[in-house]
């Protein structure tokens, strides 16, 4: 067994286990910590796929900013262990799990039938990276070809920031009387 | 004056009166309401007189005033114009309607002054006059039918005028529904005539009629005219549809005088006279008309013998006299029918108004057993009623004598008459004399049987003046149509009536062969003498029975017990109709309602709604507001779609 | 000796299957949990799974388009989390709880 294969299986197991614990932990704080763990392991998987920049962004934005946001809110609410963490209804629960399982099976089956079986090798991106620096192709793609989308995202974030403030500071909705 | 304008004023004046009184129907000022209504009808009367004078002054072959107003509707080649015709026949009718109508309006002011709905009453009365004019003047059967329905409506409204009394409201409904039966036949008749001739214009129908000859004994024209006649039996209260008229006496008495004696009930006779060329080519229809007329005349007269309600007696008398009119038109004596229509309008309106005066003076008492000796309390009413009595029993020289005698002579001598028809008419005349004398004797003569608390009094001048005018008309009204045999003896007094109507009256085809039908003047004198003596004898008998020998009627009744009972109960015709038609209809309808409507139709619809509701509540349970449920649908949908894609 | 190449040779398929598993875990969380914040976390899981697919394809096709898309997705995810948490805060202020049942007013 090669080191690559070992690394993949290790990271895959780590990702799955931590993701499962996100949805299975009854205490939201544990869920949040498990989510952070998932983020970090996904970042590591990005590294194995030679997307170093994205791995960094993943750590900083997700595991840093977003997770801090989640934990902050949880602390704010001071939520304890929940008695009813999962939805009720035996029938609908069974139906939900059945559809999840069948969809998962279908997805895996689809991928198996697609047969992208060529072994993972050094990609051309990495080859370019040695000559021009690892970040350059991404930056060119992002800031030259997709510059409109990038700017639109900036506007969106601004709107979101304002909206979030408006939502959370009012007491009974944005149009409540004082 | 412009004829179109005159006709417009003639017709619209009562309509405006109706609208004026109709919009202020809650007022109780009887003077104002009566003034408006009477003025409106009197204005119509003035117009009628002017039109009549114009006709008289016109040359004999141009005595038709036809005015068109506008096109009502047009379907393919079938066009109905709103137009009116004033000719020899309809001019007589509008004079009667507006003239007698004015007098009755005047009378109503006095009669109805205590009533709270007096304004509404006068509004209805004016609406009736408007519709009646429409009926009489309309130049097509359809326009006539509008008036025909309109007078039916007014009749219903006025019979049930005191609708708080359930029996009176029911009488109104009875009249309306019975008339509907006839009206349905009238419509069918119109269909048949339209299919045969392609027009409903009366003038065109009359012009086309002589060109057709009935091939079989029941051809299209016979069938069509028969249907029209059934319509006439409904409106004019003949067998078998006469049952509503006696009940119609529930309305105010002036209404009985105007609608149920003088005008509306004669509409059937008028319609047949109007279409006389059409009826002449259908001998079988005419035979049916004559037989039914004669039968009605006798049967209604026998019922009239037994009634104790003063208005019921007059009602059966009206049915009987209408029978005479139908007998006349049935044997082809259309002029005689119209003549009796006019004289009957005078004397029967007089008698109804007189009975109204009696009822008014007796404080709403209608039972003649509780009257008697009213002569000294109500002299004017008595005198006028007496003149009406003489007219109706056919005493010469009162108006009824001339018209009734003309009918009887024609029933005997006409090619389409028969001696049996004459016999029936003569028996009817005798019965009429008997029950009218009985009515006079029990009401006005003899000893008083009036209740001690009731103080009879003569009516006011508003009510007596119309009585006097009508009494004069009843006396002299017949002098315009004196038969030839009499006039020859008295030095050639012309028969104005026959002369006036003759251009519009079709001669029977059989008459062309032998001009006088092979009957001599001696025969006419003999028959006249027989009928007058029958009337005199039976009047005298009644006089003796009811005044001189108080117990004679009772003995006679006991002697013929069951027969009297049958007659007193009107031959159980109402009961027969109930048993044979109305009750099966009601039972059938109820069964249909219960077994078909409730059990089948309702259940089916309820089941359908249950199905929809069940489906709806199932679908609603899918959309329960639970977001996770919705997410589940997305996932399941994706799974299903993906599996379909992969399976291909 | 059985063929263990599927274990020893790592192909893009391995990454995609991992991505699918991660995605379905996120779906399961969305469907089954009642806590609003955990629901948002599950959505983050699903987004991460998608990101993983993008990166995988980017790597196997040798193009950076996929990575740009990941960049966008991350931004949207952060924005979505911010709005969602603001909503959660509003709900919490009103009901002192962040249960999904308070969002059950979308009934027919």
Residue pLDDT, tens place only, C59-102:
888 888 888 899 899 988 888 888 888 888 877 877 777 777 76
How far apart CA B210 and CA B579 sit, in angstroms, is 44
- If asked whether residues B257 and B337 sit together in one domain, one would say yes
Confidence of residue C47 (pLDDT cuts 50, 70, 90): very high
| pLDDT of C23 higher than 80 | yes
Interface of B with A (CB under 8 A): 628-629, 632, 635-636, 638-639, 642-643, 646
- If asked whether residues B308 and B427 sit together in one domain, one would say yes
Residues of C in contact with A97 (CB under 8 A): 28, 32
Confidence of residue B29 (pLDDT cuts 50, 70, 90): confident
Residue pLDDT, tens place only, A109-127:
877 776 655 555 555 555 5
Which residue among B629, B632, B639 places its CB closest to the CB of A102?
A: B639
- If asked whether residues B564 and B593 sit together in one domain, one would say no
Give me the mean pLDDT over the B289-312 stretch: 91
Asked if the Cβ–Cβ distance from B646 to A92 is below 8 Å, we say no
What string of H, E and C letters represents the secondary structure of B127-158? HHHHHHHHHHHECEHHHHHHHHHHHHHHHHHH
CB distance A103 to B638 below 8 Å: yes
CB-hemisphere CA count at 13 Å for A42? Answer: 37
- If asked whether residues B279 and B374 sit together in one domain, one would say yes
| pLDDT of C48 higher than 90 | yes
- If asked whether residues B287 and B154 sit together in one domain, one would say yes
Confidence of residue B292 (pLDDT cuts 50, 70, 90): very high
| pLDDT of B165 higher than 80 | yes
CB distance B71 to B80 below 8 Å: yes
Instruction: Give me chain B's average pLDDT, please.
Output: 88
ipTM associated with this complex: 0.87
How far apart CA B376 and CA B594 sit, in angstroms, is 62
Residue pLDDT, tens place only, B237-267:
998 888 999 889 988 999 999 988 889 999 9
Instruction: Note the pLDDT of residue A85.
Output: 67
| pLDDT of A165 higher than 60 | yes
**3-state SS class at B81:** strand
**Residue numbers of C between 56 and 75 with CB closer than 8 Å to B:** none
Which residue among C29, C56, C89 places its CB closest to the CB of A168?
A: C89
CB distance C42 to C84 below 8 Å: no
Residues of B in contact with C107 (CB under 8 A): 623-625
Asked if the Cβ–Cβ distance from A99 to B632 is below 8 Å, we say yes
Enter the CATH code of domain C12-97. Answer: 1.10.287.3510
| Chains with ≥3 CB–CB distances under 8 Å to A | B, C
| pLDDT of B1 higher than 70 | no
CB distance B131 to B150 below 8 Å: yes
Instruction: Give me chain A's average pLDDT, please.
Output: 80
- If asked whether residues B162 and B234 sit together in one domain, one would say yes
Chain B CB within 8 Å of residue A106 CB? yes
What string of H, E and C letters represents the secondary structure of B486-548? HHHHCCCCCCHHHHHHHHHCCCCHHHHCCCCCCCCHHHHHHHHHHHHHHHHHHHHHHHHHHHH
Query: What does DSSP assign to residue B165?
Result: S
- Cβ contacts of B459 within 8 Å, gap of 6 or more: B110, B357, B360, B361, B378, B380, B381
Alpha helices in B331-398 (DSSP H): 334-361, 379-392
Domain span at B320: 140-510+517-568
- Cβ contacts of B570 within 8 Å, gap of 6 or more: B246, B303
Give me the mean pLDDT over the A150-177 stretch: 78
| pLDDT of A176 higher than 80 | no
CB distance B352 to B253 below 8 Å: yes
Which residue among C20, C28, C76 places its CB closest to the CB of A107?
A: C20
Is the overall model pTM greater than 0.80, yes or no? Answer: no
Which residue among B629, B635, B639 places its CB closest to the CB of A92?
A: B629
Residues of B in contact with A102 (CB under 8 A): 639, 643
Residue with tokens 């027989």: B530
Q: Point out the least confidently predicted range of A78-82, B11-15, B220-224, C46-50.
A: A78-82
CB distance B156 to B47 below 8 Å: no
Compute the count of residue pairs across chains A and C with CB atoms less than 8 Å apart.
232
- If asked whether residues B557 and B578 sit together in one domain, one would say no
Return the residue of A nearest to B638 by Cα.
Answer: A103
Q: Which CATH architecture has domain A1-81?
A: Up-down Bundle (1.20)
How far apart CA B325 and CA B302 sit, in angstroms, is 18
H or E element that contains B327 = helix B310-330
Q: A96 vs chain B: nearest CA distance in angstroms? A: 6
- If asked whether residues B231 and B119 sit together in one domain, one would say no
- If asked whether residues B556 and B624 sit together in one domain, one would say no
How far apart CA C98 and CA C92 sit, in angstroms, is 5
How would you classify the pairing of strands C106-107 and B65-75? unpaired
How far apart CA B284 and CA B219 sit, in angstroms, is 10
Looking at the structure of chain B, the number of domains it has is: 3
Interface of B with C (CB under 8 A): 619-620, 623-628, 630-632, 635
Parse chain C into domains and list their residue ranges. 12-97
Q: Is B352 exposed, middle or buried (0-12, 13-18, 19+ CB in 10 A)?
A: buried
| pLDDT of C103 higher than 80 | no
Asked if the Cβ–Cβ distance from B627 to C32 is below 8 Å, we say no
Q: In this prediction, what percent of chain A has a pLDDT beyond 70?
A: 79
How far apart CA B179 and CA B173 sit, in angstroms, is 10
- Domain-ending residue, one of B138, B171, B191: B138
């Amino acid at each position: 067994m090669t080191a690559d294969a070992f690394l993949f299986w290790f990271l895959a197991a780590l990702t799955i286990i931590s993701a499962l614990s996100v949805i299975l932990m009854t205490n939201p704080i544990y869920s949040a910590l498990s989510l952070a763990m998932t983020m970090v392991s996904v970042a590591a998987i990005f590294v194995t796929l030679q997307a170093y920049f994205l791995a960094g962004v993943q750590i900083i934005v997700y595991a840093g900013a977003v997770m801090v946001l989640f934990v902050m809110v949880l602390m704010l609410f001071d939520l304890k262990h929940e008695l009813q963490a999962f939805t009720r209804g035996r029938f609908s629960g069974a139906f939900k799990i059945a559809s999840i399982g069948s969809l998962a099976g279908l997805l895996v089956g689809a991928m198996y039938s697609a047969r992208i079986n060529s072994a993972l090798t050094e990609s051309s991106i990495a080859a370019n990276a040695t000559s021009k620096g690892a970040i350059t192709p991404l930056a060119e793609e992002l800031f030259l070809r997709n510059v409109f989308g990038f700017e639109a995202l900036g506007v969106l974030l601004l709107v979101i920031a304002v909206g979030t403030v408006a939502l959370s500071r009012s007491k009974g909705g944005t149009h409540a009387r004082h | 004056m412009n004829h179109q304008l005159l006709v417009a004023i003639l017709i619209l004046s009562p309509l405006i009166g109706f609208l004026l009184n109709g919009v202020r129907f809650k007022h109780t000022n009887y003077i104002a309401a009566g003034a408006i209504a009477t003025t409106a009808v009197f204005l119509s009367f003035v117009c009628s007189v002017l039109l009549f004078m114009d006709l008289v002054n016109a040359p004999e072959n141009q005595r038709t005033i036809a005015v068109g107003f506008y096109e009502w509707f047009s379907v393919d080649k079938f066009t109905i114009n709103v137009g009116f015709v004033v000719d020899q026949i309809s001019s007589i009718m509008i004079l009667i309607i507006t003239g007698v109508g004015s007098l009755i309006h005047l009378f109503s002011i006095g009669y109805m002054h205590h009533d709270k709905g007096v304004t509404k009453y006068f509004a209805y009365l004016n609406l009736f006059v408007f519709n009646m004019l429409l009926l009489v003047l309309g130049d097509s059967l359809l326009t006539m039918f509008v008036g025909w329905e309109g007078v039916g409506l007014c009749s219903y409204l006025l019979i049930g005028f005191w609708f708080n009394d359930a029996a009176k409201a029911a009488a109104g409904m009875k009249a309306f529904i019975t008339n509907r039966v006839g009206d349905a036949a009238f419509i069918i008749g119109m269909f048949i005539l339209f299919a045969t001739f392609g027009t409903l214009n009366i003038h065109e129908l009359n012009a086309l009629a002589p060109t057709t000859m009935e091939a079989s004994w029941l051809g299209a024209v016979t069938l069509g005219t028969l249907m029209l006649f059934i319509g006439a039996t409904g409106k004019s209260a003949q067998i078998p549809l006469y049952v509503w008229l006696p009940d119609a006496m529930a309305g105010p008495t002036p209404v009985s005088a105007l609608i149920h004696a003088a005008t509306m009930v004669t509409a059937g006779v008028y319609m047949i006279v109007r279409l006389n060329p059409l009826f002449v080519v259908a001998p079988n229809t005419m035979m049916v008309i004559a037989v039914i007329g004669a039968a009605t005349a006798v049967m209604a007269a026998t019922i009239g013998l037994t009634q104790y309600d003063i208005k019921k007696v007059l009602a059966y008398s009206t049915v009987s006299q209408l029978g005479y009119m139908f007998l006349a038109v049935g044997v082809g004596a259309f002029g005689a029918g119209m003549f009796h229509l006019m004289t009957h309008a005078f004397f029967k309106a007089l008698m109804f108004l007189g009975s109204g005066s009696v009822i008014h003076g007796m404080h709403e008492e209608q039972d003649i057993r509780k009257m008697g000796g009213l002569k000294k309390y109500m002299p004017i009413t008595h005198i006028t009623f007496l003149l009406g009595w003489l007219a109706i029993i056919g005493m010469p020289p009162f108006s009824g004598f001339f018209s009734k005698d003309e009918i009887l002579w024609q029933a005997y001598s006409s090619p389409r008459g028969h001696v049996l028809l004459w016999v029936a008419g003569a028996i009817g005349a005798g019965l009429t004399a008997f029950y009218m004398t009985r009515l006079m004797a029990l009401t006005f003569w003899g000893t008083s049987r009036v209740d001690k608390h009731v103080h009879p009094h003569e009516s006011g001048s508003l009510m007596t003046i119309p009585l006097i005018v009508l009494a004069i008309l009843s006396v002299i009204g017949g002098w315009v149509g004196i038969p030839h045999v009499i006039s020859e003896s008295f030095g050639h007094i012309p028969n104005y009536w026959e002369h006036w109507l003759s251009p519009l009256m079709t001669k029977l085809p059989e008459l062309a062969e032998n001009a006088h039908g092979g009957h001599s003047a001696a025969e006419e004198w003999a028959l006249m003498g027989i009928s007058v003596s029958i009337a005199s004898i039976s009047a005298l008998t009644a006089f003796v029975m009811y005044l001189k020998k108080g117990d004679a009627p009772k003995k006679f009744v006991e002697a013929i017990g069951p027969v009297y009972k049958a007659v007193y109960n009107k031959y159980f015709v109402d009961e027969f109709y109930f048993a044979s038609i109305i009750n099966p209809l009601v039972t059938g309808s109820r069964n249909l309602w219960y077994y078909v409507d409730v059990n089948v139709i309702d259940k089916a619809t309820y089941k359908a709604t249950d199905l929809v509701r069940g489906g709806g509540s199932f679908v609603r349970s899918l959309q329960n507001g639970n977001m996770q449920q919705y997410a589940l649908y997305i996932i399941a949908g994706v799974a299903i779609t993906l599996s379909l894609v992969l399976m291909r | 000796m059985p063929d263990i190449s599927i274990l020893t040779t790592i192909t893009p398929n391995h990454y995609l299957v991992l991505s699918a598993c991660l995605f379905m875990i996120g779906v399961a969380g969305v469907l089954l949990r009642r806590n609003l914040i955990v629901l948002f976390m599950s959505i983050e899981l699903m987004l991460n799974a998608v990101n993983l697919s993008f990166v995988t394809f980017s790597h196997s096709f040798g193009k950076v388009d996929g990575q740009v898309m990941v960049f966008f997705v991350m931004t949207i995810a952060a924005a979505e989390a911010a709005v969602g948490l603001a909503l959660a805060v509003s709900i919490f202020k009103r009901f002192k709880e962040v249960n999904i049942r308070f969002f059950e007013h979308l009934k027919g």
